[in-house]
Structure formats: structure tokens, C-alpha cells
Amino acid sequence: MTADVYLPATYARGVPYDRFRELRETHPVCRVGEPAVGPWPPGPGFWAVFRHADVRHVLRSPEVYSSYLGATQIPDPDTEADLAFVRSMMLNQDPPAHARLRRIVAAAFSPRAVRELEAVIEARARALVDAVADAGAADFVELTADLPVRTLAHLMGVPEEDRRLLFDWSNRVIGYQDADYAGAATADPATLSPMGRAALAHRPATPVRPDGSAISPRSREALADLTAYAHALADHARPGSVLARAREGGLTRDEFETMFFLFAVAGNETLRNGIPGGLLTLLDHPGQCALLREKPELMPSAVEEILRYWPPVMNFRRTATRDTTLGGVRVRRGEKVVVFHASANRDERVFPDPDRFDITRTPNDHLSFGFGPHVCLGARLARVQLRAMLGTALHRLPGLERAGEPVRLTSNFQNGLKHLPVRWRTGR
């Protein structure tokens, strides 16, 4: 039982790559304990998968390793009702039901649709950077946060004045293990639209129930304000938006609500963590950063290496549909199987000198966007935003460097930063 790779506190200190390396060599599929964390009860434990080949095998075999049976987060949902709710999400479906949901919204993320957004994203990145250029210093996490939020708001048809709600929902759901994020409420009711203010009235007053037990951040109960907003916004959905496509696609009530939840949270949080993590990685490797400044044409391969080196999502869960063998280990039907992308991306069997950051690395078969039927639908859009924000910052902020220690997000799921102080030269 190696509970260290489960505990959120481990990741608050940094991703345990040395531990992953040890386990890849000695126990590539091993039993991991699931102790209680704060108000969250203990779980039965799970099989952790650390090697690249085994991770790929699990992700491409939904008939054996199901996203649907127990959903895709390590902790089990609290109740059968909670499980039924999250099962309706595209992320937590198996083929063929998964393909049906994916087809409904796939056109919004097609190569053509993403190309049409590129100029808008690049202009927004420049505007964000230019707004602070004369200051000489900023928190890059805060500076970056508005780009994915604005992009999502555009895709989903969320009014400009309500975009801060997307920020708060992401913090509450993804950052629930971090005390600074679990109760996020930064949206100012006075600046929200009428439907935004109305949605806030549905937000749970407390993250715990009367008996003191924690409310799951992924339950309908905890997401009451998000789902109320989704239905209100759908009544005014812009034609062609993700929300309009979802509503017109014949989704059930649960499917519609969890589709909104998925895009409002997952499409936001991954970039909020990946872009600052990418910049930190570049600043911590000044030779590679200088090479990228000198040869900006390397940005596409640099982004792939950033994704390998700093995977925004560190793991995903599956549940065994039958007794099977994985990595020489007997896995029983109904047991949790958790693949660790962060470990697979450093597997020596696939990546020569895997702990070296090399923006010219090719091939680069990282698994940061998953593999198989659940490969990330928004991967193209994520790459565009990474290129735009990092390229703009390096080009328009001369002498960009760290101005203090970064502060990590306490999470065993998202590889995130809460603060990244940076500074640069100005003309003053």
C-alpha cells in the first residue's frame, strides 16, 4: 500500500517523479492506499499504473477498463444518485454512448473551427500581456487565467459579465482539496447578468451537510448554481455555440447539465494550469527558453514538450469490467485502475533521458491529452492557447524571469499553480 502517490499533500510539494521512476521499475502496476483526506472518507484503494505501454493499453480498452462503472475520478461518488449524475457526463461514458455525446459537440472543436478562433485568441493574449507590460511584474497565474475563461465564454455563449462564474466553478470543483480554492466566490453579484445573479441564489450555503460530512464537489447538490445557470443560458443560446449544439442534440437533462459542467470546468482548468506551468518550465530551463526566443518557429514542438514535462492532468480512473491481468498483476472485476499520465510521460522505455526538457524532442508520444476513445476533444484549442500566451509573453516581456517562488495547488489530480510571480524589464 503506497498511499504517498494518492495524498494531495504530496503534490503540494511537487509531482513525485522520483517516486514514479522507482515504481515504474519495481512495481509498474501496484496497489495504492486511499486514506481519508480532511473531511473526505477513506476509499478501498486502487491499482496504479505507471508505465507508458500499460497506460495506453488501459485507455484504449474501454471494454475492460470502463469510464462508466465508477466514473473517472479516484474517489467513489458518495451516493448512487451522485454516481448516476456524473455517469451522464461524456467523460464518464463508454462506447458507443460516449461517441453519441461526442458527435453532438465535436464540430465546435474541428480544425476549421479552431483555425477561425486563432486570431481572436492571439489578440486576447496580446491584450492581456500589453495591459501589464509597463508594470514590470505580475502574477502569471492571474495574468493567464482570463484567456481560457474568455475562450470558453465565447464557445459557450456565456456573457462577458458572467465569465468570472466559470473561474469560481473551476476552483470549487478542481481545487476542492485546496483550502484557498474550495470555497471560491470571486464573482461580484453587482457585475453579473440577471441570470448570473439568479444562479448564485442556488449555490449551497456550506460545503458540508448538517451531519458534518462533505458535499462532493461533483454532485448535483454542489453544482446547483452551475446547473441553474446552464438552463437559463440555454434559453438564450447563440446559434452554433457549444451550448446550442448540446441543447439541440437530444440530450437528457442530466446529459445537458454535465455537458455544460464538463466544458465550463475541464476546458478552463487545464489551460489555467498548463500555461503557467509551461512558463515556469521554460524559465527554469534558461537555455531552452533562449533557444525558443531565438527560434520562435520551434513553438509547436516546444508546446508538445511542455505538455509532456508538465502534464496539466496527472491521472484518470477506470474500473475493471472483468477479472484481468495487467502488468503481471491480477485485477478483479469492479476494482479501480488509475493511470498516471505524469509517470507515463517520463517512461525511459519511450523517452530517452526523460527528465531532460528539450523543446526539439521528436518523436514526442506524450499522453497528456489521453489516448483512445477519450482523447481530449479540445486538444487543438488547448495547443493554440498555449502557443499564443507563451509566445506573446516571451516576445513582449523582455528579460522575463521568476520574481519569487511559485505556489503549487494542493491536488492529486491537476498539476497546477496558484501563484507564479514574474518580472521583466520595462522602458522606464
Number of domains in the chain: 1
The range of the structural domain enclosing residue 104 comes to: 3-423
Distance from C-alpha of 339 to C-alpha of 266, rounded to nearest angstrom: 18
CA gap 111, 423 in Å, rounded: 35
Is pTM beyond 0.85? Reply is yes
Point out the residues of the chain with pLDDT beneath 70: 1, 207-208, 212, 428
The C-alpha cell 503540494 sits at: 12
Q: Give Cα 82 distance to the centre of its chain.
A: 21
- 140-156 and 379-396 are packed helices; what angle lies between their axes, rounded to 10 degrees? 140
C-alpha span between 46 and 319 (Å, rounded): 9
Q: Are strands 401-402 and 421-423 parallel, antiparallel or unpaired?
A: antiparallel
Among 132, 204, 211, 142, residue whose Cα is nearest residue 169: 204
Is 65 part of any domain?
yes
Decide if 428 is inside a domain.
Answer: no
Asked whether residue 154 is assigned to any structural domain, the reply reads yes
The residue to which cell 527528465 is assigned: 355
* DSSP at 93: -
CA dist., res. 21 & res. 14, Å (int): 14
> Residue 1: its pLDDT value, please?
58
Instruction: Kindly report the CATH number assigned to the domain that includes residue 358.
Output: 1.10.630.10
Q: Which residue has the cell 437559463?
A: 232
End-to-end, the C-alpha distance of the chain in Å comes to 57
What DSSP assignment string belongs to 203-225? S-S-SB-TTSPBPPTTSTTTTHH
